[in-house]
Amino acid sequence: MPKNARNPTTDQSRGTVRKWPQELKDMRKLQLHCARMSRFRNKRAAEKKSMLEEHQQLEQLLEQRLVELRRRGLDTENLPPLQRELQRLVLEHGGLRDENVALRQELSRHLKYLQVIQRAAAHERHSRAIEPIEEPSAVTVRCINSQWQVITEQAGRRVDFPSGDPSFFFHPFSRQEFNAVLSRHDTNSSARESSLVCAGTFLGWNIYHGAAVQGNDWIIDHVRCSRRIERSIDTVLHGMCREDGTSKWPIMPTSKDQGLNMDISIQTLQTLDDASSVIVRYYSGGAANYRYMCLVKRSNFDLIDGQRVYKFYYVVADSEANARSRDADPAAQYWGGYSLTLIEADGGAVDAVFNSLGCFKSNQEALGHITMFGRIVTRWEQLTLSSNLLKFC
């Protein structure tokens, strides 16, 4: 329709409009609304353009005044004190702004260097991981199934508890044993991925639950929690560190998380490197005391499709030597734990994915898995992101 043409549905008297059918009335109402919105948008666009032009003019004027002020310096004699102080603040603000721009450029340059160094370090670690690693060990023989066999053992030590509870003998994990446990956790998580079903959303987290699988003596349960965090991966990693530089990982379940009223003591049994360790958690004060060992790892990043990926583990584990030292049933399953994967996403965001696997003695314990793990996930979010969440006790 030409710009100046008359619209038969809008240019009508009210008396004529009252005689129209409802369809024409609705059409006229829509056209009037579109015309009002068009005028409003045009007015807003004109105002925005005018403000931008005015802002540019004021910026240019400010720069000219700053140049002039720097050239002739502060007038300490002919101006009142308030105006002299204002000039001083304007000069200081301009200097700080220039310094801020220079520091940001320098920081950007250093971050590029840091990324290059981290990529090179990741490549070097990957190359070393492929090479076989020799572990210090002592070759001994032991009677196994009525036959003398040569076995390889590392030196161990006896672990005592401050509460006076029974001690036990700990055999250190080899690097191969340590990595095998974490690899098994990843394999089990991937193998049960197809059975996961979305159970809903809780405090921004998407909750997925797999059908409980009945084993010989245990019920295996899988829970996954995921969400996108609108923060950079470096900010999230910084939030996972305390002020003294130590890591807040792992976020371990409390006795209340597990529905228990027991005391928990924790000891570090072995430190493989700065990011890998073996700990023991001892539960006492209940009808029966028990303990389990956990492997803790904070992995360095891998590059996948040009994006950084970090992985953190807290996995219940045992080794052949430790099981043998306490005459444990080799066919029994003592495993579980959880992992956190941080994936760098587009737009400066992070995809956080928790996977928790556990063996439970009853369906009732398996049903409580979501609740217990949900407390751990939200506690991690509180400690890392300083979210205004309810504190779980």
Rounded distance between C-alpha atoms, residue 37 and residue 39, angstroms? 5
| pLDDT reported for residue 46 | 92
Out of 25-29, 337-341, 369-373, give the one with best mean pLDDT: 337-341
Closest CA to 220 of 363, 316, 118: 363
- 160 assigned to some structural domain: no
Helix/strand/coil for 154: coil
Q: Is the pLDDT of residue 328 over 60?
A: no
- 223 assigned to some structural domain: yes
Closest CA to 335 of 356, 313, 358: 358
Share of the chain above pLDDT 90, in %: 9
User: Which backbone phi and psi does 303 adopt, to 5 degrees?
Assistant: -100, 115
pLDDT band (50, 70, 90) for residue 388: very low
Average confidence (pLDDT) over 179-191: 86
For tokens 């490549």, the residue is: 123
DSSP state of 364: H
- 16 assigned to some structural domain: no
| β-strand partners of 166 | none
Q: Is the pLDDT of residue 301 over 80?
A: no
pLDDT band (50, 70, 90) for residue 7: low
| pLDDT reported for residue 54 | 92
Lowest mean pLDDT segment, chosen from 19-33, 146-160, 371-385: 146-160
Report which residue type is found at 369: H
pLDDT band (50, 70, 90) for residue 390: very low
**Exposure letters 353-379 (e unless 16+ CB within 10 A, then b):** bbbbbbbbeeeebbebbbebbbbbbbb
| pLDDT reported for residue 91 | 79
- 289 assigned to some structural domain: yes
Q: Which domain holds residue 304?
A: 168-385
Q: Is the pLDDT of residue 178 over 70?
A: yes
Element (H, E) at 80: none
| pLDDT reported for residue 351 | 92
Lowest mean pLDDT segment, chosen from 168-172, 188-192, 328-332: 328-332
Element (H, E) at 3: none
H helices within the chain, ranges in order? 14-18, 22-72, 81-130, 175-191, 233-239, 320-325, 363-367, 369-385
CA distances from residue 168 to 13, 142, 263 in whole angstroms, order as listed: 97, 20, 18
For tokens 């801020």, the residue is: 100
pLDDT in tens, 92-138: 887 888 888 888 888 888 888 887 787 777 777 666 655 544 444 44
- 294 assigned to some structural domain: yes
- 327 assigned to some structural domain: yes
Q: Are 373 and 365 in contact (CB under 8 A)?
A: no
| pLDDT reported for residue 391 | 40
Rounded distance between C-alpha atoms, residue 135 and residue 324, angstroms? 20
CA distances from residue 366 to 179, 216, 363 in whole angstroms, order as listed: 27, 15, 5
- Please provide the average confidence, as pLDDT, over all residues in the chain: 77
Q: Is the pLDDT of residue 312 over 90?
A: yes
Q: Whole-model pTM?
A: 0.55
| pLDDT reported for residue 53 | 92
- 326 assigned to some structural domain: yes
State the total domains in the chain: 1
- 296 assigned to some structural domain: yes
Domain holding 178: CATH number? 3.30.530.20
Helix/strand/coil for 206: strand
